[in-house]
Each structure stands twice: as structure tokens, then as C-alpha cells.
């Protein structure tokens, strides 16, 4: 079966739990049509580069899918109907990347403690 990477953006005013439910519904559609979900990643609420349907932010979710083209077509049809989904994109790939996506890797890097150089500075002088 062909391999796909699928990403979608959900509206900013729904909760992460609702996004998870939406992802499970999409996974069910793929599984009912004989497909399989290799990986699913929730990237969180992120700022958009431009407004989409009056939304400045969106919940991003990535899925690696192994399914027939008919299953992908049905999933995309359901996504077009759903008002909570702002945009989606499906790409056919040669193989799935098993590592965490670069977005999640960057988030892990941002969780590191920041260096604080305030200790190296001399005491501040009052202005004359």
C-alpha cells in the first residue's frame, strides 16, 4: 500500500482534547477502509503566518498513514465537511520517517533551561 504524510490544522478555539478526538475519528476512517496509522503527532497550538478564516492560531497534527488512495480520498472528503478543520495536506512519500518530526525536536530543545549571564555582570552603577 502507498505511504502518506498527512497534516491538518484545526481551529484555535477548540480544546486539545477535541483535536485528539478529531484525530481519532480520522484514524477510524482510515482503518475502516483498510489502512493503518504508523504515527500520529500533536504539535500543539501554533501561530499562523497569516489569518485563515479569521484565525490567527491553529492546532497542528501530523499523521503517517499507510492506506489505499480510496481511504485517503474518503478521509479528505470528511475533512472538507468538518468546520473545525482549517486546512489539510496529504503527501505521498517513499518511506516514513520513524524519528520524531523536526517540530517536536525543536520543542524539546526549547524546553532546555536558558543560560543566564546576569551573574557575570558587574553591579549596575547609578546614573549621575
Q: Angle, to 10 degrees, between the axis of helix 69-81 and the axis of helix 16-32?
A: 140
pLDDT tens by residue, 1-26: 889 999 999 999 999 999 999 999 99
Domains held by the chain: number:
1
User: Is 117 inside a domain boundary?
Assistant: no
Residue 57's pLDDT is: 92
Q: How confident is the model at residue 100 (pLDDT cuts 50, 70, 90)?
A: confident
Q: What is the pTM of this model?
A: 0.75
Q: Residue holding cell 497550538? A: 45
Domain of residue 74 covers 3-96
Among the listed residues 82, 103, 121, 81, the one whose alpha carbon sits nearest the alpha carbon of residue 5: 103
User: Is 120 inside a domain boundary?
Assistant: no
Residue 118's pLDDT is: 55
pLDDT tens by residue, 50-95: 998 889 999 999 999 999 999 999 999 999 999 999 999 999 998 8
Amino acid at each position: 500500500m502507498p505511504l502518506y504524510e498527512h497534516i491538518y490544522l484545526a481551529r484555535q478555539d477548540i480544546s486539545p482534547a477535541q483535536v485528539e478526538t478529531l484525530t481519532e475519528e480520522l484514524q477510524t476512517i482510515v482503518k475502516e477502509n483498510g489502512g493503518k496509522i504508523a504515527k500520529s503527532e500533536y504539535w500543539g497550538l501554533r501561530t499562523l503566518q497569516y489569518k485563515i478564516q479569521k484565525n490567527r492560531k491553529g492546532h497542528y497534527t501530523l499523521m503517517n498513514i499507510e492506506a489505499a488512495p480510496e481511504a485517503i480520498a474518503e478521509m479528505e472528503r470528511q475533512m472538507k465537511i468538518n468546520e473545525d478543520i482549517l486546512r489539510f495536506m496529504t503527501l505521498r512519500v517513499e518511506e516514513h520517517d520513524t524519528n520524531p518530526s523536526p517540530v517536536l525536536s525543536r520543542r524539546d530543545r526549547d524546553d532546555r533551561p536558558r543560560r543566564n549571564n546576569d551573574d557575570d555582570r558587574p553591579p549596575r552603577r547609578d546614573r549621575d
